[in-house]
């Protein structure tokens, strides 16, 4: 494996000093020279340097805004900057460091000092980048593992619940579509962060995880449930939430598990307080549960159940529309009305599959 030689950018208005610095660094680095930050800026992203060596006293450019303009480019904002300076008072030194300069050397430097400072910072920068890359790779693999476990668990739930086949995966697709619409409309934008949306999409297939605790004769009864049986069925919200609570007690501050618990516990709550298990009202129902209510009901309406034929999309649409403000959160219900055609397409896609 070949390792790319680190790149150093030298910025100095003196061509003589540029050549001198290039000469002492060329053995270990690929060196790019510029007379000013203004001249260097358009090239910096493609150069991708590992260190800057910059003369502080350049005509027409003050050091503070020079550092700021380099730091404003996201891909190189953390690249170390070494200033070559004639300053020797404490205030100026402090100001330089406060502005984001990583180190400085005096004008009368020895070549070995420059090489050693640059090498030290380039190595540190390399280690930091490598560490960030490894953390990102680990995070990615944890996410993939989490995804695989979620799908495996939802498959297990569906194995037991033979009457609502495919419900878990379809609700995931509907939830994703609904949240895209909410984002476009700016609904609950403070809560609907990228992480929230990602976690809810991944948790959605498990909203009915508590059904594993419901007896077979109720879960798979090929007819409408009696009142007593329906009361037992309602417990799937509590059973699911309790199982997830045990996981939360082991892993504190896990936003994904919190969302999973919210949807398992509250996807049957209703905006007007007539839902279950707690009869929560309006915004006391967690946002994740209020969102999940629509994919869950829509899918039940357009699917076959032992006690009913599948409703058409139009009928499901009119039922949901009628229940906005009673069963469903008005903002989320309206977002559904603006993307209902996509719900229809998703239901068609899954039917074809």
CB of 339 to Fe ion, least distance (A): 19
Residue 208 engages Fe ion in binding (rule: CB under 5 A): yes
Q: Residue 320 CA to chain centroid, in angstroms?
A: 30
Q: What angle (nearest 5°) sits at the alpha carbon of residue 136, between those of residues 250 and 102?
A: 115
Per DSSP (E only), the strands in the chain are 7-11, 30-34, 51-55, 81-85, 103-106
Give the number of other Cβ atoms within 10 Å of residue 308's Cβ.
11
The one segment of 97-105, 151-159, 181-189, 208-216 that binds Fe ion by CB under 5 A = 208-216
> What tokens appear for 313 in the block?
């999309």
> What tokens appear for 332 in the block?
């989320």
The one segment of 9-17, 109-117, 206-214, 271-279 that binds Fe ion by CB under 5 A = 206-214
Q: Residue 263 CA to chain centroid, in angstroms?
A: 19
Of the candidates 175, 212, 197, which has an alpha carbon nearest to the alpha carbon of residue 298?
175
CB of 264 to Fe ion, least distance (A): 8
Where do runs of H (alpha helix) occur along the chain? 15-25, 37-47, 63-71, 90-98, 111-160, 167-185, 194-203, 216-219, 227-234, 236-250, 255-266, 287-302, 313-322, 330-352
**268 vs 313, beta carbon nearer Fe ion:** 268
**167 vs 313, beta carbon nearer Fe ion:** 167
CB of 315 to Fe ion, least distance (A): 19
Rounded distance between C-alpha atoms, residue 280 and residue 329, angstroms: 12
CB of 345 to Fe ion, least distance (A): 20
**Pattern of binders to Fe ion over 31-70, x per CB under 5 A?**
----------------------------------------
CB of 337 to Fe ion, least distance (A): 21
At 148, phi and psi to the nearest 5? -65, -40
**61 vs 208, beta carbon nearer Fe ion:** 208
Site for Fe ion in 266-305 (CB under 5 A): 296
Rounded distance between C-alpha atoms, residue 158 and residue 179, angstroms: 24
**57 vs 229, beta carbon nearer Fe ion:** 229
The one segment of 17-25, 197-205, 207-215, 251-259 that binds Fe ion by CB under 5 A = 207-215
Q: What residues form DSSP beta bridges with 44?
A: none
CB of 123 to Fe ion, least distance (A): 54
**199 vs 208, beta carbon nearer Fe ion:** 208
**109 vs 276, beta carbon nearer Fe ion:** 276
CB of 303 to Fe ion, least distance (A): 10
Strands 81-85 and 51-55: parallel
**63 vs 205, beta carbon nearer Fe ion:** 205
CB of 205 to Fe ion, least distance (A): 10
Longest C-alpha distance within the chain, in Å? 92
Rounded distance between C-alpha atoms, residue 286 and residue 288, angstroms: 5
The count of residues interacting with Fe ion (CB under 5 A) is 2
**12 vs 208, beta carbon nearer Fe ion:** 208
Q: Which residues bind Fe ion (CB under 5 A)?
A: 208, 296
């Amino acid at each position: 494996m070949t390792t790319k030689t680190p790149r150093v950018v030298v910025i100095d208005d003196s061509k003589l000093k540029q050549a001198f610095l290039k000469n002492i660094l060329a053995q270990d680095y690929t060196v790019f020279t510029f007379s000013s930050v203004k001249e260097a800026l358009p090239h910096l992203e493609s150069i991708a340097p590992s260190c800057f060596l910059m003369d502080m006293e350049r005509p027409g450019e003050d050091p503070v805004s020079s550092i700021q303009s380099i730091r404003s480019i996201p891909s190189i904002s953390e690249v170390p900057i070494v200033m070559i300076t004639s300053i020797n008072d404490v205030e100026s030194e402090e100001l330089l460091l406060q502005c984001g300069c990583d180190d400085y050397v005096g004008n009368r430097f020895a070549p070995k000092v420059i090489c050693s400072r640059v090498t030290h910072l380039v190595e540190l920068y390399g280690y930091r980048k490598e560490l960030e890359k490894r953390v990102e790779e680990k995070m990615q693999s944890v996410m993939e593992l989490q995804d695989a476990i979620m799908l495996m668990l939802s498959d297990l739930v569906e194995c037991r619940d033979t009457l609502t086949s495919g419900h878990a995966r379809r609700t995931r697709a509907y939830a994703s579509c609904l949240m895209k619409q909410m984002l476009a409309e700016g609904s609950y934008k403070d809560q609907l962060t990228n992480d929230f949306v990602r976690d809810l999409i991944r948790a959605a297939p498990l909203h009915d995880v508590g059904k594993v605790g419901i007896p077979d004769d109720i879960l798979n009864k090929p007819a409408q449930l009696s009142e007593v049986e329906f009361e037992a069925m309602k417990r799937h919200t509590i059973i699911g939430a309790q199982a997830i609570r045990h996981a939360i007690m082991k892993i504190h501050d896990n936003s994904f598990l919190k969302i999973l618990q919210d949807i398992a516990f509250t996807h049957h709550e209703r905006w007007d307080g007539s839902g279950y298990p707690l009869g929560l009202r309006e915004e006391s129902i967690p946002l994740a549960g209020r969102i999940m209510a629509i994919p869950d009901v829509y899918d039940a309406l357009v699917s076959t159940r032992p006690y009913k034929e599948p409703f058409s999309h139009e009928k499901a649409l009119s039922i949901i529309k009628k229940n906005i403000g009673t069963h469903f959160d008005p903002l989320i219900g309206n977002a559904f009305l603006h993307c209902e055609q996509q719900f229809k397409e998703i239901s068609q896609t899954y039917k074809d599959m």
